[in-house]
Homo-oligomer: A and B are copies of this chain.
């Protein structure tokens, strides 16, 4: 574990801004780890970011998110964009590490110095992923990425939160797996700016597209003024990738023209600050008052001597 003494944050940030991949990796590790260096890194990144377009990719396991990410990276590299990929696994509080075997599919890009690939799990950070992901995005942004893809493992509340960190959110679906109705249940249809129905060469893609249109007609959509594109895709063969990129570019242009980009940036920063502040308060509950105060309150609730709201008020009063 690196200590403050071992790390020259200013030098690391300077090297990251010159796209040194090891500096980028090191900074993201600090951001991820609740290291005491975290605040120094955050302070050092002030003013260094603000250029990259952030794409969120979400969808059920098995729909081909990694293949889609891979295809998008190829298309973005072909036109000269520098690309960051952040694979986020918010789901596993127990296993201690993301099962990112899928990452091997990205192997063709790992040797490309115009691509940064990092994965993050949800452990330990002050404020959780709501705080850690934006910081990691700033690191990749400062390193000169034009586009950053944030890919999540599953579909759920945590994925919805991460998707809300993106400028453009892409929901990947596939026939059979993770169909439109299931996505509607998971609440992710409403947050998507672009739908990509992958494995379009398989039977059923047309049905998923129709279901999506129906769900879309029933829900208000994320924003006034933008109707989410619904595209068919065959990420493995590359068919439809150009159209997907065009839809992303169109959404990016709309974000700028409509003023929505500034609205999202403001909302994201507020969410991030609040997550950090709440995380800090949570740590104070755990550490400053010792686990004893909380444990004793919990024992009283279990014994039927107190209710949890009264116990919580006492905890806050002691803060």
Contacts and interface: CB of A to CB of B under 8 A. Distances in A.
Given A45-B307, A46-B304, A219-B95, A154 B153 contact: no
Interface string A77-101: 0000000000001111111000100
Given A273-B308, A276-B312, A308-B134, A186 B122 contact: no
Interface in A168-193: 177-178, 182, 184-188, 190-191
Contacts of A295: 266, 270
Contact of A276 (B95, B266, B302, B309): B309
A269 B302 contact: yes
Contact of A156 (B38, B91, B95, B315): B91
A302 B299 CA distance: 44
Contacts of A267: 298
B276 A89 contact: no
A12 interface: no
B158 A316 contact: no
A124 interface: no
Given A39-B309, A42-B307, A43-B310, A89 B185 contact: yes
A6 B280 CA distance: 39
B89 A280 contact: no
A93 B316 contact: no
27 contacts: A43-B309, A46-B305, A47-B304, A50-B304, A62-B182, A92-B185, A93-B160, A93-B187, A94-B190, A153-B185, A154-B156, A154-B186, A156-B158, A266-B299, A269-B298, A269-B299, A270-B294, A272-B301, A274-B282, A274-B285, A274-B315, A276-B309, A276-B311, A277-B313, A277-B315, A278-B281, A280-B312
Interface of A: 38-39, 42-43, 45-50, 60-62, 89-95, 99, 122, 127, 131, 134-135, 153-160, 177-178, 182, 184-188, 190-191, 219, 262, 265-267, 269-270, 272-274, 276-278, 280-282, 285-286, 294-295, 297-299, 301-302, 304-313, 315-316
> Ordered nearest first, which 6 A-B pairs have the shortest CB separation?
A156-B156, A92-B187, A269-B298, A276-B312, A47-B304, A270-B298
